[in-house]
Amino acid sequence: MPISTPLTKMLGIRVPVIQGGMQWVGVPKLAAAVSEAGGLGILTALTQPSPDALRQAIRETRKLTSKPFGVNITLLPSITPPDYAGYARAAVEEGVRVFETAGNNPGTLIKYLKSQGCIVVHKCTTIRHAKSAEKLGVDLLSIDGFECAGHPGEDDVGGLVLMARAIRELNVPFVASGGIADARGLAASLALGAVGANMGTRFMCTVESPIHQNIKEKIVASTERDTVHIFRTLHNTARVYKNKVSMEVVAIEKRGNAKFEDIRDLVSGARGRQVYETGDPDFGIWSAGIAMGLINDIPTCEELLRTLEKEVAEIVGGLQQVIVTPETKSKL
């Protein structure tokens, strides 16, 4: 039974699920598979080395699906920032009309995308940041709870409370993000007022995900206790897989007065990329959310989204039994 929400109507998709824009993971093969299966696939702009490379990735994705997909542009704290404007312009010129933005000071980027008639989803870890994004004119918000992989912010507030506040205080629709990997998580998100869900770690562990099979199997074998926070003392907290490298970073931070230079080599993106390419889970830092505790298989994107669709309908239908009406009371 199809699930209809403002998200499916806005984006022209069948299942109210957005694939997270993950570095080294959001590539044409995965994005196209998610879109073909009925969700919204996302290409990660900064996975590509240049705006022209992003153009080619968009064209490659179009060869694999005729359905809508989006592009993620994450604004990173950097002395020499990437060519964000170039990435955005390249994607717009290639006909992309859905963008996921994240990071600080997105105003200029959002203004440009809205001037081009694009739909903008902005990721936030706090309600105050979500309200600021509303003022910038975003169409949709992604509310990231403390459970998420990557950067959960510094407030340590879980999705349950964030979403309950979001439905009270926000004026634009929002999707839930962080800790969602199955139908119960999606159904709960809808019950809390979200119009859909953003899933990252779950899509890492699919047949079409570009990461090494060893890493997919490591995710299946892991639990919700197998992540750790790094960069806490640098006030740029990130949730990553708990391995030798991440625990070494934590140990350095615990000594006190750690600077980024002290851990730069350990946390380099190149080492993280090698993890996905070689399958050695201890080679570098790699993102993973506590949703690992809910993942016990490696399905195709089609199988995953069909299962979500079917089970959400069953869960929502089953909840009707807890409502006692005069008709149901007479049957008790």
Q: Tell me, what's the pLDDT at 286? A: 98
Asked whether the predicted pLDDT for residue 190 surpasses 80, the reply is yes
Q: Tell me, what's the pLDDT at 271? A: 95
For 79-117, b/e burial (b = at least 16 CB within 10 A) is: eeebebeebbbbbbebebbbbbbbbeebeebbebbbeee
DSSP H helices in the chain: 6-11, 28-36, 51-64, 84-93, 107-115, 127-135, 159-169, 183-191, 201-204, 213-221, 244-254, 260-263, 269-278, 301-319, 326-331
| Ranges 54-68, 75-89, 124-138: which has the least confidence | 75-89
Asked whether the predicted pLDDT for residue 324 surpasses 80, the reply is no
pLDDT in tens, 91-123: 999 999 999 999 989 999 999 999 999 999 999
Q: Tell me, what's the pLDDT at 323? A: 80
What the chain holds in terms of domains, given with CATH numbers, is 6-212 (3.20.20.70), 227-278 (no CATH)
**What share of the chain in percent tops pLDDT 90?**
92
Q: pTM score, two decimals?
A: 0.95
Asked whether the predicted pLDDT for residue 325 surpasses 80, the reply is no
pLDDT in tens, 234-292: 999 999 999 999 999 999 999 999 999 999 999 999 999 999 999 999 999 999 999 99
Q: Tell me, what's the pLDDT at 328? A: 60
Asked whether the predicted pLDDT for residue 77 surpasses 70, the reply is yes
Q: What average pLDDT does the segment 19-31 reach?
A: 97
The bridge status of strand 238-241 relative to strand 227-230 is antiparallel
CB 2 within 8 A of CB 309: yes
Nearest to 165 by CA among 203, 130, 138: 130
- Kindly indicate the confidence band of residue 331, based on its pLDDT and cuts at 50, 70 and 90: low
Q: What rounded mean pLDDT belongs to the chain? A: 95
Q: What average pLDDT does the segment 57-75 reach?
A: 98
Asked whether the predicted pLDDT for residue 327 surpasses 90, the reply is no
Q: What average pLDDT does the segment 179-202 reach?
A: 98
Q: What average pLDDT does the segment 282-306 reach?
A: 98
Residue 235 φ then ψ, to 5°: 60, 40
Q: State both tokens at 181.
A: 């990997």
Q: Tell me, what's the pLDDT at 2? A: 81
- Tell me the three state secondary structure of residue 199: strand
Asked whether the predicted pLDDT for residue 330 surpasses 80, the reply is no
Distance, CA of 272 to CA of 286 (rounded, Å): 5
Q: What average pLDDT does the segment 207-229 reach?
A: 98
